[in-house]
Amino acid sequence: MTPPHHDGAAPGRLHPADLARTAVVGLRTRPMRAALSALGIAIGVAAMVAVLGLSASSQAGLLAEIDKLGTNLLTVTPGQTMGGADARLPVDAPAMIARIGPVDMVEHTGKVAASAYRSPHIPSLNTNSISVHAASLNLPAAVRATVAQGRYLNAATAEQPVAVLGADAAARLGIAGIHPDARIWVGGQWFYLAGILNRAALTPEIDSSVLVGYPAARKYLNFDGHPSRVYVRAQTEQVSDVQKVLAATANPRNPGEVGVSRPSAALVARAAAQSALGGLILGLGAVALLVGGIGVANTMVVSVLERRSEIGLRRALGATKGHVRLQFLSEAILLAALGGAAGVVIGVAATAVYAHVKAWATVVPSLAWGGGLGAAVAIGAVAGLLPALCAARMQPTEALRTV
């Protein structure tokens, strides 16, 4: 017996290519409505991709910054006494810390009880949160700060009324550049300016400081010589061990009055705070995606009502309920997928532009674009399910009669 010959798909089944073609035709007949519905999906997906991408890019940039600045910087500061008063570090604390074997560099600053102004005519209340510190000569190398203009203190200028400004201090004083006669009013007398530092990422307290040499601070500003902050660079593999003994080394009599911190930990905490904020924006993106899904559902419901004649004709020509159901469900999924794809492109582009401006590496996790596109398709399927079921339940005669 000769086997039956089949030229096409099995009866009662719709070929995937035909299904896709039918879905595309359904959307092309109403391009404006389809575009507006897809826009809601695109906005939600773009928000989700951009938030995750920017979060990943900022963290990558932060890790690169930490690697550049080093994670081996420790700071020693005075705490409080048992009575609650402010403690003081011993004058020889930096020298004692330098004796620790794995310590590579020790630099320090001391808070000076003086105020800095642009000129003596500035009211004393307008300090602009600028502090004056005595500083050791290799401080920029220890905190990885660079000189933006001029030069830093040296052995000669540290003896004279000469100052170096942190980046914020220079801005608050209204000083944009260094010239031979540049000077500021510090502690009741003029101090000439030697240079301006760039921002110090690990040590922001330096940014708002006026730095003078220790000898000049003692001679001109009645400084007592006690350091207020000691910066310690230790061998990277032994940072934790050094951190444990710093307090007792800096102040053997009262180690409980010494605080020890690791500035790079603050950058990691800042990244965690940014991630928390990103979670909030991610939630807003999910809401926008949900609203877009409602728009898709509305579009498909209206489409079913407007296309009753098409549904009736197809059913009269032999299309099954499953064919009609798949047609409208595939239209909803295709509409959401197009919106999701557009949202992914927009989100990636936004991430790339912002990362380029911030000089970060552009990082878009696969979870961002894959999850965004998958969520769009899922929402499209859910949004199109009810209209598809309604279309499939229509009887051919009833659909044709109501036209």
- What is the tally of structural domains in the chain? 2
- Picking from 69, 189, 140, the residue whose alpha carbon sits closest to that of residue 150 is 140
Judge whether 215 lies within some domain: yes
Q: What is the DSSP string of 25-72?
A: HHHHTSHHHHHHHHHHHHHHHHHHHHHHHHHHHHHHHHHHHHHHH-S-
Residue 82: CB atoms within 10 Å: 9
Q: Which of 216, 235, 262 is the last residue of a domain?
A: 262
- pLDDT band at 260; cut points 50, 70, 90: very high
- Whether residues 195 and 258 share a domain: the answer is yes
Judge whether 218 lies within some domain: yes
Judge whether 291 lies within some domain: yes
Query: Which residue did the predictor score with more confidence, 97 or 60?
Result: 97
What is the C-alpha separation between 381 and 181, in angstroms, rounded? 73
- Whether residues 242 and 172 share a domain: the answer is yes
- pLDDT band at 282; cut points 50, 70, 90: low
Residue 117: the pLDDT is: 95
Judge whether 334 lies within some domain: yes
Q: Give the mean pLDDT of 309-328.
A: 72
- Whether residues 235 and 383 share a domain: the answer is no
pLDDT in tens, 133-167: 999 999 999 999 999 999 999 999 999 999 999 99
Check if the beta carbon of residue 175 is closer than 8 Å to that of residue 184: yes
- Whether residues 106 and 41 share a domain: the answer is no
Cross-strand pairs, 32: none
- Whether residues 346 and 368 share a domain: the answer is yes
Tokens of 66: 């930490």
- Whether residues 80 and 205 share a domain: the answer is yes
Q: Identify the residue whose tokens are 């899922």.
A: 378
Show the beta-strand stretches assigned E in 206-327: 209-213, 229-234, 258-261
- Whether residues 224 and 322 share a domain: the answer is no
Question: What's the sign of the alpha-carbon dihedral 132, 133, 135, 139?
Answer: negative
Q: Between the CA of residue 229 and those of 93, 107, 112, 128, what are the distances in Å?
A: 10, 9, 12, 21
Gyration radius (Cα) of the chain, Å:
35
- Whether residues 53 and 197 share a domain: the answer is no
Judge whether 376 lies within some domain: yes
Tokens of 29: 């007949």
Query: Which residue did the predictor score with more confidence, 106 or 70?
Result: 106
What is the C-alpha separation between 37 and 233, in angstroms, rounded? 58
Q: What is the DSSP string of 105-146?
A: EEEEEEEES--EESSTTS-TT--TT-EEEEE-TTHHHHHT--
Residue 3: the pLDDT is: 47
Residue 139: the pLDDT is: 96
87, pLDDT greater than 60: yes
- pLDDT band at 67; cut points 50, 70, 90: low
- Picking from 348, 292, 278, the residue whose alpha carbon sits closest to that of residue 46 is 348
Judge whether 145 lies within some domain: yes
Q: Identify the residue whose tokens are 């604390």.
A: 93
- Whether residues 48 and 110 share a domain: the answer is no
pTM of whole model > 0.75? no
Q: Give the mean pLDDT of 264-279.
A: 58
What is the C-alpha separation between 34 and 303, in angstroms, rounded? 10
User: How far does Cα 285 stand from its chain's mean position?
Assistant: 17
Residue 18: the pLDDT is: 60
Lowest mean pLDDT across 79-88, 133-142, 221-230, 260-269? 260-269
351, pLDDT greater than 80: yes
352, pLDDT greater than 50: yes
Q: Could you tell me what percent of the chain has a pLDDT over 90?
A: 39
- Whether residues 94 and 240 share a domain: the answer is yes
Q: Between the CA of residue 385 and those of 312, 324, 330, what are the distances in Å?
A: 19, 12, 10
- Whether residues 211 and 344 share a domain: the answer is no
**Structural domain for 163, as ranges:** 72-262
Show the beta-strand stretches assigned E in 170-218: 183-186, 189-197, 209-213
Q: Give the mean pLDDT of 97-118.
A: 94
Q: Give the mean pLDDT of 382-394.
A: 75
Q: Which of 244, 262, 280 is the last residue of a domain?
A: 262
Residue 253 DSSP one-character state? S
Residue 270: the pLDDT is: 57
Q: Which of 223, 246, 262 is the last residue of a domain?
A: 262
Residue 380: the pLDDT is: 81
Residue 126: the pLDDT is: 81
Judge whether 11 lies within some domain: no
What is the C-alpha separation between 158 and 94, in angstroms, rounded? 18
Q: Could you tell me what percent of the chain has a pLDDT over 70?
A: 79
Residue 393: the pLDDT is: 74
Question: What's the sign of the alpha-carbon dihedral 43, 45, 47, 49?
Answer: negative
Check if the beta carbon of residue 135 is closer than 8 Å to that of residue 109: yes
- Whether residues 258 and 352 share a domain: the answer is no
Residue 88: the pLDDT is: 92
Helix count and strand count (H, E) for the chain: 13, 11
- What integer best gives the mean pLDDT of the chain? 82
Q: Give the mean pLDDT of 9-37.
A: 66
Judge whether 10 lies within some domain: no
Check if the beta carbon of residue 234 is closer than 8 Å to that of residue 72: yes
What is the C-alpha separation between 244 and 257, in angstroms, rounded? 14
